[in-house]
């Protein structure tokens, strides 16, 4: 039984192997070899189980990806069947029934005429491939100077060179190199930390005016694309002011700039729809990227869907030699596509999009109660994604005096109490599996409350914070 607790010796041994040999994402090399991350050995539904046998609610649904929850036999069987019938086919010279079917399903789900789908291996490669399509597009059309990508502060778009260059989290940018000549960052659309004295509507005007001024300063003929998460996810679930996306898209249309909606987190039900760009924000981008929820995290897959009108400009017999020379050995991997199709069937059969639309207001309202705690500056979110933003004091909204360890401290307490939190510096992100029900939401909120209260007590005792 994979979920049975391991003995103390086995746990110690595995943790030693991990600390000695495993390098994990965002590894702190300062602390390399000192401490292993939580060893998880099983999972079911909305719960994960640690090596000591404790059951924890998976607050972040893995990494915003476990839409239908753990332990879905239908997905495992679809993968096993595909692995036995044809484990792999080269997308360079063949295709598979599942890749064809999945592309067609995704084309149906995306807004507008976004009916061409390119598969990748995850979110970073989806963003990277979308951006490289844009480069290809403009180079092919004879305007190689149209190269600059507009992105925003607080954005996260991935960990390839180009997608990471679009990310706007300054603390991640200290020791790595980035394509600085290709990417220009605009202000983070963070209404909570908007300039003092500015209304939310005024802040929206400010962001749009800043964007237009930047386009004009750079020269529209040099600006190729605007990439934006509908809600900035790992930037702290930042929700742009109402109307922002529509106005940003109008600017892009005005200056012939392609829009890329990075829906790696927001697609496949997180906001109660297959894709959120049109259904929630009223925009039809030229490209949407997806990953994570497309397979509910059972196996890696990502991709982008692109507008027929855009593709047609560089396709067809009159465009001799037009080749988009970008792709992966595992583009459209049949086992991943089979998992995605099974995942989509579950979402449909169980009405999970409707379920999210129904339960999200309860989830949001319950979490908002935490704003009464002195350490909590704001709780924000939409659908089944939310963020608890901790501050030194509610007036200054300054997170920096507390900083990095606060989220980690809350997470440590919550894990003892039975909840995994996704700490990001001073913030705790919650994005549970879409199948979550009210009693589990109640439990999640109760544990999070206790975790924050215990952290408040610790900080006060250590003289690091006063209520
Ligand atoms: N885009 C967004 C909005 C993301 O949140 C992420 C990952 O969290 C990525 C892209 C990168 O995806 P992946 O980690 O699958 O490469």
> Which whole number is the average pLDDT over 60-86?
98
Q: Is any atom of ligand 1 closer than 6 Å to the C-beta of 158?
A: yes
Tokens standing for residue 42: 């099983």
Among 31-40, 132-141, 217-226, 259-268, the least confident range? 31-40
Q: From the CA of 365, how far away is ligand 1's center (Å)? A: 27
CA 183 to chain centre: 20
Q: Is the pTM of this model over 0.90?
A: yes
- Check pocket membership of 156 for ligand 1, CB cut-off 6 A: yes
Helix (H, G, I), strand (E, B) or coil at 421: coil
**Ligand 1 close to Cβ of residue 229 (< 6 A):** yes
Sheet holding 385-390, edge to edge: 376-382, 385-390, 427-430, 422-424
**Which of 119, 133, 106, 164 lies closest to 299, judged by CA?**
119
Range of weakest confidence among 208-212, 326-330, 419-423: 419-423
**Count of CB atoms within 10 A of residue 312's CB?**
12
pLDDT at 404: 62
For the record, the structure tokens of 263 come out as 């829906």
Q: What is residue 361's three-state secondary structure? A: helix
**Domains with residue ranges and CATH for the chain:** 38-68+352-461 (3.90.1150.10), 74-349 (3.40.640.10)
DSSP label at 194?
P
For residue 234, give the ligand 1 atom closest to its CA: 5
- Whether 48 has a pLDDT exceeding 70, the answer reads yes
Ligand 1 centroid from CA 340, angstroms? 17
Q: Rounded distance, CA 235 to CA 245, Å? A: 17
Give the Cα separation of 42 and 4 in Å (integer).
8
d(C-alpha 38, C-alpha 420), whole Å: 10
Contact of 352 with 346, CB cutoff 8 Å: yes
With a 6 A CB cut-off, is 131 part of the ligand 1 pocket? no
Bridge partner list, 175: none
Nearest CA among 348, 245, 239, 342 for reference residue 288 = 245
Please identify, by atom number, the ligand 1 atom nearest to the C-alpha of residue 64.
8
Pocket test for ligand 1, best of 292, 296, 330 (most atoms within 8 A of CB): 292
pLDDT at 291: 98
Ligand 1 site, residue 293, Cβ cutoff 6 A = no
Q: Is the CB of 157 under 6 A from ligand 1?
A: yes
Rg (CA), the chain: 22
3 pLDDT band, cuts 50/70/90, is: low
Tokens (6 digits) for 396: 């200054």
Taking only the tens place, the pLDDT of each residue in 299-343 is: 999 999 999 999 999 999 999 999 999 999 999 999 999 999 999
Tens of pLDDT along 367-419? Answer: 999 999 999 999 999 999 999 999 988 888 887 677 668 999 999 999 999 99
Distance 418 CA to ligand 1 centre (A): 26
58 pocket-lining for ligand 1 (C-beta < 6 Å): no
Q: Is 291 in the pocket of ligand 1 (CB under 6 A)?
A: yes
Is residue 291 within 8 Å of 262, Cβ to Cβ? no
Q: What are phi and psi of 80, to 5 degrees?
A: -65, -45
Pocket test for ligand 1, best of 157, 160, 165, 260 (most atoms within 8 A of CB): 157
The whole-angstrom separation of Cα 4 and Cα 267 is 34
ipTM of the shown complex: 0.99
What is the spatial distance between Cα 245 and Cα 278, in angstroms, rounded to a whole number?
10
Evaluate whether 233 touches 266 at the Cβ level (below 8 Å). Answer: yes
Residue with CA nearest ligand 1 atom 13: 123
Q: Whose C-alpha lies nearest to ligand 1, atom 15?
A: 123
In this prediction, residue 368 carries a pLDDT of 98
Helices 352-368, 438-461: inter-axial angle, 10-degree rounding: 30
Strands (E), 32-170: 40-44, 47-50, 55-58, 116-120, 148-152
263, pLDDT greater than 90: yes
CA 444, 43, 59 angle in degrees (round to 5)? 25
Mutate to test the pocket of ligand 1, among 124, 168, 237, 295 (most ligand atoms within 8 A of CB): 124
* Cα 19 to Cα 35: distance, rounded to the nearest angstrom: 6
Contact 75, 296 (CB under 8 A): yes
Q: Exposed/middle/buried for 55, CB within 10 Å: 0-12, 13-18, 19+?
A: middle
Give the position, in ligand 1's atom list, of the atom nearest the Cα of 266: 3
């Amino acid at each position: 039984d994979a979920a049975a607790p391991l003995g103390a010796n086995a746990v110690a041994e595995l943790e030693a192997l991990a600390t000695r040999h495993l390098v994990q994402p965002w590894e702190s090399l300062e602390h390399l070899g000192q401490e292993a991350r939580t060893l998880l050995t099983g999972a079911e539904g909305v719960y994960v189980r640690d090596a000591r046998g404790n059951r924890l609610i998976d607050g972040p649904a893995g990494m915003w990806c476990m839409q239908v929850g753990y332990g879905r036999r239908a997905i495992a069987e679809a993968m096993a069947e595909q692995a036995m019938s044809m484990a792999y086919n080269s997308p360079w010279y063949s295709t598979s029934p599942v890749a064809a079917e999945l592309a067609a399903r995704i084309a149906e789900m995306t807004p507008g005429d976004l009916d061409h789908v390119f598969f990748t291996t995850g979110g970073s490669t989806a963003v990277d491939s979308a951006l490289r399509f844009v480069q290809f597009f403009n180079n092919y059309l004879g305007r190689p100077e149209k190269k600059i990508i507009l992105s925003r502060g607080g954005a996260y778009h991935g960990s390839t060179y180009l997608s990471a260059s679009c990310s706007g989290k300054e603390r991640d940018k200290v020791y790595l190199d980035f394509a600085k000549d290709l990417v220009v960052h605009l202000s983070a659309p963070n209404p909570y930390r908007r300039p003092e004295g500015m209304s939310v509507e005024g802040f929206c005007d400010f962001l749009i005016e800043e964007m237009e001024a930047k386009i004009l300063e750079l020269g529209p003929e040099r600006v190729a694309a605007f990439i934006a998460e509908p809600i900035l996810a790992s930037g702290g679930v930042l929700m742009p002011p109402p109307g922002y996306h529509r106005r940003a898209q109008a600017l892009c249309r005005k200056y012939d700039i392609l829009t890329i909606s990075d829906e790696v987190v927001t697609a496949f039900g997180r906001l109660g729809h297959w894709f959120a760009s049109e259904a929630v924000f009223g925009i039809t981008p030229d490209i949407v990227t997806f990953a994570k929820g497309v397979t509910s995290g059972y196996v890696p897959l990502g991709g982008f869907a692109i507008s027929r009108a855009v593709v047609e400009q560089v396709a067809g017999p009159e465009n001799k030699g037009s080749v988009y020379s970008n792709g992966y050995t595992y583009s459209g991997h049949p086992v991943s596509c089979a998992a995605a199709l099974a995942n989509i069937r579950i979402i449909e059969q169980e009405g999970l999009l409707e379920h999210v639309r129904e339960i999200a207001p309860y989830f949001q309202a319950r979490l908002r109660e935490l704003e009464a705690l002195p350490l909590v500056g704001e709780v924000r979110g939409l659908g089944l994604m939310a963020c608890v933003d901790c501050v030194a004091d509610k007036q200054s909204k300054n997170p920096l005096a507390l900083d990095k360890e606060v989220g980690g401290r809350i997470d440590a307490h919550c894990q003892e109490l039975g909840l995994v939190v996704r700490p990001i510096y001073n913030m705790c992100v919650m994005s549970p599996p879409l199948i979550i029900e009210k009693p589990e939401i109640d439990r999640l909120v109760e544990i999070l409350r206790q975790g924050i209260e215990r952290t408040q007590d610790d900080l006060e005792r250590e003289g690091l914070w006063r209520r």
